[in-house]
């Protein structure tokens, strides 16, 4: 009788459906230790950033192990062509950038979901030898069902086209959350990285309110408590910060002699 904790953490879709605020953190550093540190700090989830980060697939797998061992749900931000291998190594969910239409979102749902009898489900290739299935220990129809129900799909809106289609994207069955990428959105609107520009903030508000109105979880990068409160008032429930920004700020303060209370 196998009593081991299964590699696949399936809590995230239910967390995204809840009314609770969620605080996540993007991490592009290829380090399982950083994953553990984020868990011990108390974040609700971590996003391994394989869009802009440098982790290869083997390191990502070890970061997922660290997340599971420290009881932290773990999403991987990746490109669509990397979804299958990312899920097979045990991600709790995937976060996909630059989703502009409901048709795009629906195609991503197909990639995330396994096929089911009667033509239901999606088109994900099935292999029970993967880490997600315990290398065969937890394979079969039970793994298929656990994966289809317990893996989250988070899509990112980062362009004016995505803003215009936000409600339709959020309404696609199988989309668990819609996350605004404010930096790319600002760039795509001609504002460089200035997402505090009124025109960009207006677009962000439009997305958050439209997504929230569908009942789908709305998320946004929120680097300060004030930002979190503002975006919460617009309908956001999932907020994220960035590990490198937090670490760099702490290092600068230490270099400048700012007193730091150490935990050792």
Q: How far apart are CA 209 and CA 262, in angstroms?
A: 41
84 within 8 A of 132, measured Cβ to Cβ: no
Q: Characterize 183-199 residue by residue with b for buried, 16 or more Cβ atoms within 10 angstroms of its Cβ, and e for exposed.
A: bbbbbbbebeeebeeee
In whole angstroms, what is the distance from residue 123 CA to residue 74 CA? 23
For 112, the 3-state DSSP assignment is: helix
Residue with tokens 């048709």: 103
What b-and-e string marks burial along 232-260, b requiring 16 or more CB atoms within 10 Å of the CB? Answer: bebbbbbbbbbbeeeeeeeeeeeeeeeee
Active-site positions read 52
Token representation of residue 20: 């609770």
Bridge partners, 154 (sequence order):
95, 177
Structure tokens at 98: 């630059």
Helix, strand or coil, per DSSP, at residue 249: helix
Q: If 0-12 CB within 10 Å is exposed, 13-18 middle and 19+ buried, where does residue 96 land?
A: buried
Three-class SS of residue 217? strand
């Amino acid at each position: 009788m196998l009593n081991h904790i299964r590699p696949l953490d399936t809590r995230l879709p239910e967390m995204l459906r809840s009314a609770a605020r969620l605080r996540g953190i993007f991490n592009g550093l290829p380090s399982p230790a950083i994953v553990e540190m984020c868990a011990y700090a108390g974040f609700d989830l971590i996003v391994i950033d394989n869009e802009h980060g440098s982790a290869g697939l083997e390191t990502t797998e070890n970061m997922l192990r660290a997340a599971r061992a420290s009881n932290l749900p773990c999403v991987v931000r990746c490109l669509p062509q990397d979804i299958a291998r990312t899920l097979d190594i045990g991600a709790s969910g995937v976060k996909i950038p630059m989703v502009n239409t409901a048709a795009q979102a629906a195609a991503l749902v197909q990639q995330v979901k396994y096929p089911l009898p009667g033509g239901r489900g999606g088109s994900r290739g099935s292999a029970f030898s993967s880490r997600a299935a315990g290398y065969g220990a937890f394979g079969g129809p039970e793994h298929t069902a656990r994966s289809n129900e317990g893996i989250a799909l988070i899509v990112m809106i980062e362009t004016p086209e995505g803003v215009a289609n936000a409600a339709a994207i959020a309404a696609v069955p199988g989309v668990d959350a819609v996350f605004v990428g404010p930096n790319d959105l600002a760039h795509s609107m001609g504002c460089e990285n200035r997402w505090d520009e009124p025109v960009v903030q207006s677009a962000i508000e439009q997305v958050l309110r439209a997504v929230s109105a569908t009942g789908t979880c709305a998320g946004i990068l929120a680097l300060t408590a004030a930002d979190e409160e503002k975006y919460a008032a617009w309908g956001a429930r999932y907020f994220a910060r960035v590990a490198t920004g937090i670490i760099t700020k702490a290092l600068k303060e230490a270099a400048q002699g700012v007193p730091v209370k150490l935990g050792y």
